[in-house]
Amino acid sequence: MLPIHRDIFLTKDIFEKHLLQQLSLSKVLAPLFIETKTGIQDDLNSIERPVSFSAKQMPKKRIEIVQSLAKWKRLALAQYQIEPGEGIVAVMHAIRPDEEDLSSGIHSIFVDQWDWEKRILPEDRTLHYLKTTVQQIYQAIKKTENELTEKLELTPFLPDEITFIHAEELLSLWPDLTACEREDKICQDKGSVFIIGIGGELADGQKHDGRAPDYDDWSTPTSAETKGLNGDILVWNPILQRAFEISSMGIRVDKQSLLHQLELEDAAHRKELLWHQALLSDKLPLSIGGGIGQSRLVMLLLQKRHIGEVQASVWPEETLSSCEQNGINLL
């Protein structure tokens, strides 16, 4: 096997092993596409355009490539009768044609991630449970880095612990900076952070970043000044000298937070969709879940300059030319 491909598969295998152990997950198969208008599609920031098609023998059905498995996984938890404290993980492949930042070297129209979901109890819908889960995921990342350090003679760079900070706190620290600039600041200072509360409006009336209203809970109050039981794991990437997002995750909406967030986002019509009706009828378990970028994590831990060095995709001509000039070998 070619060395770079060997290292990519090695990194994925090691991390997956630790992730399953840390979160008590079982690996399952997942769909590449789903039927439109079921409510299962993940709307991400609510503006992305899913890739769709029709099948010859099902001409009246519109089918969409998944954008993530956020909603499908809760259906799977119910179908497989997963017990509280246990969960599932699937390898998700997606196409996101509306990606606008292909020149950055960290985005691609091809997305691959570990999509995981864990069943929880009502009393687990707390900030403490969220933080504990984040720490477990971060330990899986650290253990992977440690093993790769020994096997591939790499220099480790991630801190031993992850820092927690709310998006409101970041805003108060650097009110004159953009959300991305605030991420750079905190990641450079701390090395690795989990930014809590992404999706709802902050004190300045702006969102740190967008989130669809029907998977993560970004509206439940956690203090007098803060709300949200979700967030992002980011680290400082020493190769790129910038903040680097690894995972978006959170405690999922219950009936109350779903209805509230649909109202906030002027999306109350979604209540009639099949998935939403299942949740509102208590047919779906409470859960926590998220996605962890496969190529993102591999790129980070193998200390590569471009995501195209660890995944096969299609790139604009200017990207191909720039990478060739800078000695970056795209797969």
Neighbours of 223 (CB within 10 A): 9
Q: Across the chain, which distance is largest between two alpha carbons, in Å?
A: 57
Query: Cα-flanking dihedrals φ and ψ of residue 262, to 5°?
Result: -60, -40
Q: Which of 248, 261, 295, 313 is catalytic?
A: 248
Q: Is 245 a catalytic residue?
A: yes
Which tokens sit at 208? Answer: 């740190």
Q: Which of 115, 183, 214, 232 is catalytic?
A: 232
Yes or no: say if 90 and 73 are a contact pair by the CB < 8 Å rule. Answer: yes
Count the alpha carbons within 13 Å of 129 in the hemisphere toward its beta carbon: 19
Q: Which of 7, 16, 64, 96 is catalytic?
A: 96
Yes or no: say if 174 and 182 are a contact pair by the CB < 8 Å rule. Answer: yes
Q: Is 247 a catalytic residue?
A: no
Q: Which of 113, 219, 247, 287 is catalytic?
A: 113
Tell me the C-alpha distance between 328 and 286, whole Å: 44
Q: Is 160 a catalytic residue?
A: no
Q: Is 318 a catalytic residue?
A: no
Q: Give 25-63 as a DSSP string.
A: EEE----SEEETTSS-S--TTTT----EEEETTEEEEEE
Q: Give 295-324 as a DSSP string.
A: HHHHHHHTT-S-GGGTS-----HHHHHHHH
Q: Which of 35, 48, 99, 245 is catalytic?
A: 245
Q: Which of 299, 198, 180, 202 is nearest to 251 (CA)?
A: 198
Tell me the C-alpha distance between 82 and 87, whole Å: 6
Q: Is 113 a catalytic residue?
A: yes
Q: Which of 7, 16, 42, 265 is catalytic?
A: 42
Cα–Cα–Cα angle for 103, 106, 112, nearest 5°?
125
Q: Is 232 a catalytic residue?
A: yes
Active-site residues: which are they? 42, 96, 113, 232, 245, 248
